[in-house]
Amino acid sequence: MKESIKISIAIMSIYFMVCAIFLQLNFVEAQEQPIISFTCTVPIGYDKEYAAMLIVKDSLAKYGIEMNIVREDAGTFFAKVWGAETFRLTYEQGGFDADSYWWYWRPEDMLFFSSFTAKGFPPEGWNEWSYNNDYAADMLDAALRTYDINERKEYYRKFTEEFQRDPFFIPLYYFEIPKAARANIENYDPVLYTQNAFDWKVKGKTYDDYVTIRIAIPYTENYIDPLFGMTSSLCQYACIAPVFPNLLKSELQPDGTYKLVPDLAESYEISGDGLTITFHLRRNIFWSDGVPFTAEDVKVTYEGMLDPESGIPALADLREIESIEMLNNYTVIFHLKKPHALILATLGGYCTGGIVPAHIFGKIPHKQWRGYWTDPSQVVSLGAYKIIEFVPNTRYVLEANPNYWRGRPFVDRIEVVIIPETATAISALKKGEVDILVPEYAGPELLAELSSLEAAGIDMSFVLWPATSYLGFNLNHPILNNRYVRLAIANLIPVDTIINDVLKGHGRPANGPIYPGSWAYPSDIPPLAKYDPEKAMEYLRRAGYIRPQVITTTMYIYMGAMLIIGIVIGFATGFIVSKRRYKR
């Protein structure tokens, strides 16, 4: 009998071990089933955002949220998310579910805020997320209608509070970038890219040396772009900014802030009711082909931009312009529908474009403006430089414009080289093959080379970048359009880990779209992204997404049945075996 019990116990032990393995496999399988799944697109060239998304992906997966990550060519991606026919599409439909890069600000004002409303749906603006919150839009609109800086600041604060309640993207961090420029280059400011190239100097060199500076950028377009910079490539437009200036320009001030100052305009005044802005243009300025610059150039440029046929994405920021009046050859008047506090920043160029020549673009239908220039010999310049060479996806070359109204720039030639891979760009900087890396390279790979680059004579001092890095959501997505899902994701992001591991400490958690260097930054509002799984699970429950219990009632019954069956099998087997042995 004792032998029968021993055999029974042995059989049952083997049986229960097999059952335990089976249950464990089912437990793991149940744990791995996501309750939410979506795809996040990261444009190629945004390396730190990609590294951050890998961390976010791992964090979300622990709580049943599957975030697949894909990378796309930047030009293709931006054309898609800012395209009138494609921005609403999900990833499976040929669009995007979520995206991650950084949202760049004009450092002197809150340009692009109209693109956070329904007025900014592509192609008239950059609201790729389809965000449409009436209260948020009211606060942004109110901030446009007053020129009082304190009133505007309060409206932007209220917008940020509403943004945190109903975010269309999760602001991750504000970050600093290294200059990544040869230490002997003076007056280079990565925030301005090449906008102030006229002021650049090189230690130990003179005008007679005809200095060349080489800049690396990760991507570009196949045409020369005076008006579509943000649609194609910020770094491409920024690197040809000195070819296409505008009425005003951004200038770094002694206190570290940025201010709009006259450029092609000599002066301007705003009427008492805020509805009229009069610009007085500089005289004796000539295009590089010798044609005089006049108010007609300004009128043709902005009337073209106001025509939806042109497809200019800055239209949302220009829509308050009622008409443009050319009073004489050197006076142009902008009549506004309503007071518009951002109008000066809008007319400051950079991301909204530069002035185009009326004697060329005035003869072309507006819908043909984009991509019109592909041959550098066709391009005429109004800035400090002119384009003399353009090889798509390879390089383009700027040369000092002999007709520039301020005179000859110190740097005679700027060569822009397209290097998609960050490691290759860093190697070129070390070897002296290039002199500057644009801010798009400012990611983990560049930060890892901080000491070696400094040893190679590179200025790697850090400056605050006017941008917010984020994880954004296409609100046309059937799951991500639920704000509780978005808030749940916001509470599963280990932002401190991202700042420490990816940025090497050169960043801080973000509370909203407005970056800390802005006069409008609401410093008392806490960050949105944080790691609080308990709160995240509560948001998911509110959204109706509850992760199923791994051990269910059915499984308990199943386990009980297996227990009984195991006991019966064990004792029956033991009894039979012992009986046979007894007979022998």
DSSP string, 78-102: HHHHT-TTTTT--TTTTS-SEE--E
Give the residue carrying structure tokens 């009894």. Answer: 575
CATH of residue 472's domain is 3.10.105
What tokens appear for 201 in the block?
A: 């100097």
Question: Could you say which of 427, 460, 493 is where a domain stops?
Answer: 460
What tokens appear for 545 in the block?
A: 């997404």
Instruction: Examine the domain organization and report whether 24 and 161 are in the same domain.
Output: no
Q: How do 411-418 and 211-217 pair as beta strands?
A: parallel
Instruction: Examine the domain organization and report whether 252 and 350 are in the same domain.
Output: yes
CA distance 380 to 374: 12
Alpha helices (runs of H) in 456-552, residue ranges in sequence order: 483-490, 495-501, 533-543
CB 195 within 8 A of CB 229: no
Phi and psi at 207, nearest 5°, equal -55, -35
What tokens appear for 331 in the block?
A: 């006076």
Instruction: Examine the domain organization and report whether 317 and 354 are in the same domain.
Output: yes
pLDDT at 321 over 70: yes
> In Å, how far are 7, 103, 455, 574 from 1, measured between CA atoms?
10, 79, 84, 9
CATH of residue 441's domain is 3.40.190.10
CA distance 468 to 484: 22
Alpha helices (runs of H) in 209-292, residue ranges in sequence order: 229-232, 234-239
More confident residue, 28 or 408: 408
CB 181 within 8 A of CB 436: yes
Mean pLDDT, residues 159-178: 97
Q: What is the mean pLDDT of the chain?
A: 87
CB 253 within 8 A of CB 259: yes
For residue 231, the model assigns a pLDDT of 47
CA distance 475 to 25: 37
At 84, the pLDDT band (50, 70, 90 cuts) reads: confident
Give the residue carrying structure tokens 């518009």. Answer: 340
CA distance 159 to 168: 12
Q: Give me the numbers of helices (H) and strands (E) for the chain, helices first please.
A: 18, 23
CA distance 438 to 179: 8
Which range, of 3-12, 47-56, 252-261, averages the lowest pLDDT? 3-12
Mean pLDDT, residues 421-444: 94
Instruction: Examine the domain organization and report whether 323 and 455 are in the same domain.
Output: yes
Instruction: Examine the domain organization and report whether 156 and 145 are in the same domain.
Output: yes
Which range, of 118-122, 210-214, 221-225, 353-357, averages the lowest pLDDT? 221-225
Give the residue carrying structure tokens 């799944």. Answer: 37
CA distance 539 to 541: 5
CA distance 545 to 342: 42
Instruction: Examine the domain organization and report whether 244 and 366 are in the same domain.
Output: yes
Give the residue carrying structure tokens 């649609």. Answer: 231
The predicted-structure confidence for 358-395, as pLDDT tens digits, reads as follows 999 999 999 888 878 878 888 999 999 999 998 888 88
CA distance 410 to 101: 35
The predicted-structure confidence for 513-545, as pLDDT tens digits, reads as follows 999 988 899 999 999 999 999 999 999 999 999
Instruction: Examine the domain organization and report whether 317 and 426 are in the same domain.
Output: yes
CA 50, distance to chain mean position in Å, is 12
The predicted-structure confidence for 537-547, as pLDDT tens digits, reads as follows 999 999 999 86
The predicted-structure confidence for 297-308, as pLDDT tens digits, reads as follows 999 999 998 998
Which domain does 565 fall in, by range?
Answer: 2-31+550-583
For residue 136, the model assigns a pLDDT of 96
Instruction: Examine the domain organization and report whether 295 and 237 are in the same domain.
Output: yes
Highest mean pLDDT among 100-114, 484-498, 549-563: 484-498
The predicted-structure confidence for 450-474, as pLDDT tens digits, reads as follows 999 999 999 999 999 999 999 999 9
Instruction: Examine the domain organization and report whether 366 and 328 are in the same domain.
Output: yes
Number of domains in the chain: 3
Question: Could you say which of 460, 482, 508 is where a domain stops?
Answer: 460
pTM: 0.79
Instruction: Examine the domain organization and report whether 568 and 515 are in the same domain.
Output: no
Of the candidates 82, 79, 45, the one whose C-alpha atom is nearest the C-alpha of residue 219 is 45
Alpha helices (runs of H) in 362-520, residue ranges in sequence order: 422-431, 444-448, 450-455, 483-490, 495-501
How far is the first Cα of the chain from the last one, in angstroms, to the nearest whole number?
15
Question: Could you say which of 429, 460, 491 is where a domain stops?
Answer: 460
pLDDT at 446 over 90: yes
Q: How do 36-43 and 98-99 pair as beta strands?
A: parallel
Give the residue carrying structure tokens 């610009």. Answer: 279
Mean pLDDT, residues 492-508: 96
pLDDT at 5 over 60: no
Instruction: Examine the domain organization and report whether 572 and 430 are in the same domain.
Output: no
Which sign does the torsion angle of CA 106, 112, 113, 114 carry?
positive
pLDDT at 410 over 90: yes
3-state SS string for 347-364: CCCCCCCCCCCHHHHCCC
CB 184 within 8 A of CB 393: no
- The residue type at 393: N
Q: What percent of the chain has pLDDT over 70?
A: 84
Instruction: Examine the domain organization and report whether 369 and 412 are in the same domain.
Output: yes
DSSP single-letter state for residue 420: -
Give 450-457's long-range contacts (Cβ < 8 A, gap of 24+): 450/178, 450/504, 453/178, 453/180, 453/426, 453/429, 456/429, 456/430, 457/182, 457/183, 457/184
